[in-house]
Amino acid sequence: MFSKGLQTRATARWVDWGIIAVMAVIGVFMLMPFLWLFSMSFRPVADAYKMPPSFIPPTLDFTNYRAVLASDVPFLRIYWNSVQIAVLVTVGQLVTCTLAAFAFARLSFPGRDSLFFVMLIGLMFPAQVTIIPIYLGYAQTGLLNQPLGLALMYLTSSFGVFLVRQFMRSQPKALEEAALMDGAGYFKIFWRISLPQLRPALSALGIITFTQTWNYYFQARVLLEPQDAMTLPVAMDMLRGFMGQGNLSMVMAAMSMAVLPVILIFLVAQKLVIEGVTMSGIKH
């Protein structure tokens, strides 16, 4: 009996390792497109379509990167648009969402719960149902083709308000009540007591917002037409057309630069990214 138990446990261990080995192979396959992307970006243009494809960069030659920056496509300008939009939207959401979340979680005022409900309804609507009026409105106010116009429409989000509010509700109220007794104003309480405790929620929201904004395509494609107003995901599609067949290596060098910020964030804050994106499951 005892020895049989040991034996099954030993078999189970082998099965475990077998499964992990199979998963490791699948994992390597999952990474293939990324390996190929970076490897291609270091390949001489002439070798771009040489088969078999290399998944490990043959050299570390930055010629293609320099070529992208020197090309007719205003790559740096486009990059700067993406950075501006992502940073503005991230900062904007951190401010507006935490302020609103504080009010919804901590203050009582007439209509609070109905207003919160109205904001939550926003989670149901896809971008496709808001894009036409926003386009028409932007066309009339001159916001069309302005990178900052795209940022403007994302300065708040129902998801962000909801996320921060959930965090706030789980915090003890005692400190705030004590501060109120001492005569502190609500903004002071928010700034000095609530905010410092919210650091995990804020980093999660910040990371989700930054990566999402960096990746926006649908809205950016509709609202930002000329080359130097574009953001990276949209421009990449155009770059592909420009640099075309022979210059695959150059397109991949541009792509590598475009995905770099998100990959860096992921490598540095892996756990936080996964928690954050998992939480964002509520909204696409």
Partner 1 sequence: MTTIAANRPSELRRAQARAGYLFILPSFVLYLTFVLAPVIVTFLLSFTYYDAIDGASFVGLDNFVRFLTDERSLQIFWNTLRFTFFAVTFNVGVGLALAMALNRAMPAFLLYFFRLAFFLPVIIAAAFVSIVWGYFYGDDLGVINYYLIRLGFAPVRWLTSSSTAMMSIIIMDVWKNTGFFMIIFIAALQGVPKNIMDAAVMDGANWWRRFSRIILPFISPVIFFNIVYASIGAMQVYESIVILTQGGPGDSTRSMSILIVEEAFGSFEIGYAASVSVVLTLVILVITSLQLIASRRWVSY
Please choose, out of 68-76, 127-135, 168-176, 196-204, the segment that lies near partner 1 by the rule CB under 8 A.
127-135
**Contact pattern from residue 91 through residue 110 relative to partner 1, giving x for each residue in contact according to CB under 8 A and a dash for the rest:** ----xxx-xx-xxx--xxxx
* Straight-line distance from the first to the last Cα atom of the chain, in angstroms, rounded to the nearest whole number: 53
Report residue 100 as tokens: 């609103």
Report in angstroms the alpha-carbon separations of 179 from 9, 14, 27, 172, 183: 58, 59, 52, 13, 6
Question: 89: how many CB neighbours lie within 10 A of its CB?
Answer: 24
Which residue among 64, 79, 190, 206 contacts partner 1 (CB under 8 A)?
190
Please choose, out of 65-73, 168-176, 185-193, 196-204, the segment that lies near partner 1 by the rule CB under 8 A.
185-193
Which residue among 142, 172, 183, 196 contacts partner 1 (CB under 8 A)?
183
Which residue among 64, 81, 211, 249 contacts partner 1 (CB under 8 A)?
211
Site for partner 1 in 228-257 (CB under 8 A): 233-234, 236-237, 240, 248, 251-252, 255
Site for partner 1 in 54-93 (CB under 8 A): none
Helical H runs in the chain?
Answer: 2-41, 63-70, 75-106, 112-121, 131-141, 147-152, 158-169, 174-181, 186-189, 195-197, 199-215, 218-223, 232-243, 248-268, 270-279
Under the binding rule (CB under 8 A), the answer on residue 129 touching partner 1 is yes
Residue type, 237: D
Report residue 91 as tokens: 């900062």
Question: 191: how many CB neighbours lie within 10 A of its CB?
Answer: 14
Which residue among 47, 66, 125, 264 contacts partner 1 (CB under 8 A)?
125
Site for partner 1 in 20-49 (CB under 8 A): 20, 22-24, 26-28, 30-31, 33-34, 36-37, 49
* Nearer CB in complex with partner 1: 31/76: 31
Q: How far is the CB of 166 from partner 1 (least distance, A)?
A: 16
Ramachandran category for residue 245: left, alpha or beta (phi over 0 → left; psi -120 to 50 → alpha): alpha
